């Protein structure tokens, strides 16, 4: 498969967790991008559920700490060499942007409808990386561009459903803030050089934990969650960290826009989990969105 504007081949030594060299980079990016969508969607569902019974700030802080510990463990387990200070600083900036996105998203999920806030956030999260990638890496194939359009339509259909009426101003505002934070995270993580994956994400966690911890200390917000809520908060942190790692691998293997669009399909799993577990009603347009997401995956993959 030939695409315009593909990344140059990386001749540096690959980490031990890298995929088989015989696999096509675009296929590797597709698999990792799809994995990030699944894990992020499940993580956002867990964080949204936890935020309904615990302080959103506490949920974000604890989940970020858990995710950070997981990333440190993975870096040590796979013996990833310590990366450069530049990569750590870029990762830190990405962490601050991602933290703002998570905080806005979890608040929106707690105060609004999961089936609306999560998909609308994804539309804004994917838009800026697509534009940036078009200038820096060139346009992808026509089939991929059509897949992008279908993917954005999918998340729009997912957000347009629901039996409680139109999108509220509060839901829209939280989605814009969250989507902007996530898009900046995508762009910055893509700028990490070399084969560094886990240590830049550890830098992102250190920055995000410091910022949210300082904010909570100054504003005196948040309280200790109940012991019954700790498992679901920890699960949110593990899944979010996993989504970050999968996205970093996807962006490293292929194009930023493909990785970002695939990762932005996470609302499908969030909405499906809300339907299965919380019994949230899905309208016809949302089922259409799920079908469109599947079509988009095929178009992007071929």
Question: What is the per-residue pLDDT for 191?
Answer: 87
Model confidence band, residue 5 (pLDDT cutoffs 50, 70, 90) = very low
Quick one: average pLDDT of 95-110?
Answer: 83
Q: Is the pLDDT of residue 65 over 90?
A: yes
Between 23 and 50, the more confident residue is 50
Query: Percent of the chain beyond pLDDT 90?
Result: 22
Q: Is the pLDDT of residue 2 over 80?
A: no
Question: What is the per-residue pLDDT for 91?
Answer: 92
Q: What are the residue boundaries of the structural domains of the chain, listed by start?
A: 25-301
Question: Which string of DSSP letters, residue by residue, matches 199-264?
Answer: HHHHHHHHHHHHHHHHHHHHHT---PPPTTTHHHHHHHHHHHHHHHHHHHHHHHHS-HHHHHHHHT
Mean pLDDT is lowest, of 88-92, 169-173, 222-226, 252-256, for: 222-226
pTM: 0.81
State the Cα torsion 74-79-80-82 to the nearest 10°: 110
């Amino acid at each position: 498969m030939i695409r315009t504007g593909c990344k140059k081949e990386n001749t540096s030594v690959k980490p031990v967790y890298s995929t088989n060299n015989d696999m096509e980079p675009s296929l590797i990016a597709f698999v990792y991008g799809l994995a990030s969508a699944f894990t992020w969607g499940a993580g956002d569902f867990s964080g949204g559920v936890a935020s309904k019974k615990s302080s959103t700030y506490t949920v974000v802080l604890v989940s970020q700490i858990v995710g950070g510990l997981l990333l440190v463990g993975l870096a040590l387990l796979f013996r990833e060499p310590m990366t450069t200070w530049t990569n750590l600083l870029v990762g830190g900036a990405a962490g601050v942007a991602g933290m703002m996105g998570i905080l806005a998203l979890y608040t929106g999920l707690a105060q609004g409808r999961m089936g609306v806030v999560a998909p609308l956030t994804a539309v804004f999260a994917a838009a800026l990386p697509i534009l940036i990638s078009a200038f820096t890496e060139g346009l992808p194939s026509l089939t991929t561009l059509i897949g992008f359009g279908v993917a954005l339509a999918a998340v729009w259909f997912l957000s347009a459903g629901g039996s409680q009426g139109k999108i509220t101003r509060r839901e829209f505002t939280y989605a814009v803030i969250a989507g902007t934070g996530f898009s900046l995270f995508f762009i910055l993580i893509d700028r990490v050089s070399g084969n560094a994956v886990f240590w830049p994400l550890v830098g992102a966690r250190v920055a995000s934990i410091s910022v949210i911890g300082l904010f909570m200390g100054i504003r005196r917000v948040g309280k200790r969650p109940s012991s019954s809520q700790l498992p679901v908060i920890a699960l949110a942190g593990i899944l979010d960290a996993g989504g970050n790692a999968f996205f970093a691998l996807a962006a490293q293997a292929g194009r930023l826009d493909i990785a970002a669009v695939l990762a932005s399909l996470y609302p499908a799993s969030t909405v499906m989990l809300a339907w299965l577990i919380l019994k949230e009603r899905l309208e016809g347009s949302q089922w259409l969105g799920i079908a469109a997401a599947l079509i988009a995956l095929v178009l992007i993959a071929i």
